[in-house]
Structure 1
């Protein structure tokens, strides 16, 4: 139970940060990405604040056993391109879209539905299997 409460608190803190910083506002995100047009650089301050926090997390994570690393391949690059295109076109990425579900209306709901459909399609086509006893997905089989 304490782990669940810790996860809930961390998620609530993360979601609050996304909303307060403007990351859950797709218009603000698109304005940040529009460097050739009406550029809004304010989200750069959000990223600058996130870098030290992430550095601490990476430092703490380095003490843990490393997961299996895969090569940078066409699937990884294709996924990165799709993620970037979706973020740039919709103004949402997964975390902010979930945080925006309560106030962004049908656009956030449509994005989350499409995201879940894409995750389901990947799960069906990538040959995932679950790790015995955990209920979690294992690495895709090749």
Structure 2
């Protein structure tokens, strides 16, 4: 019973996330680039979206820390690695460069597919190719 319920919950969360991104205007890469343009025509709206997201996620984590286990799983899957290392820093740098150049990060890019925008399609295709490439490199490294 939990299988279909988990999928339905994930779909509902994804739809709510996408709706929030759409309502806040974060599907528009120009808005994101405007936020990153601190020396030009700076658009502070993303800061308010980020502050709202931080507030909601902080409440969610505080609630989750008080629970024995999640409603739709046997245990919480908290991160096991806490060390800041070179792969983490490199990944963050690559993420930031991609976000700054394209104006998309993964969540908004997937949500922007619903608009039919070609840049979103190109970004998601490149993101999937990068994920596949990482799997190949990681699999080769693990051998």
Q: Normalising to structure 2: TM-score of the pair?
A: 0.83
Q: Which has the higher helix share?
A: 2
Q: Does 1:74 align with 2:77?
A: no
What does 1:36-47 align with in structure 2 at a 5 Å threshold? Answer: 36-47=39-50
| CA 104–33 in structure 1, closer or farther in 2 if over 3 Å, else same | farther
RMSD: 2.0
Aligned residues between the structures: 131
Tell me the distance in 2 between the aligned counterparts of 1:23 and 1:67. Answer: 27
User: Measured at CA, do residues 65 and 118 of structure 1 come closer, stay the same or move farther in structure 2, by a change above 3 Å?
Assistant: closer
Q: Does structure 1 residue 58 correspond to structure 2 residue 70?
A: no
Runs of 4+ in 1 over 6 A off after TM superposition: none
Counterpart pick for 1:30 among 30, 33, 38: 33
Quote the residue 1:91 is aligned against.
103
> Secondary structure at the residue paired with 2:104?
coil
Q: CA deviation at 1:42?
A: 1.3
Secondary structure of the structure 2 residue equivalent to 1:72: coil
Q: Equivalents in 2 of 1:8, 1:65: separation in Å?
A: 19
**Structure 1's 28 and 104: CA in aligned 2 closer, same or farther, altered over 3 A?**
farther
| Superposed displacement of residue 141, structure 1 | 4.5
What TM-score results when the alignment is normalised by the length of structure 1?
Answer: 0.84
Show CA shifts across 1:61-116 (max 9, x none).
Answer: 43546442152111110010000000001000000000001215210000000000
Tell me whether 1:107 sits opposite 2:119 in the alignment.
Answer: yes
Structure 1 unpaired stretches of 5+: 129-139
Which structure would you say has the larger RCO, counting Cα contacts within 8 Å and 6 or more residues apart? 2
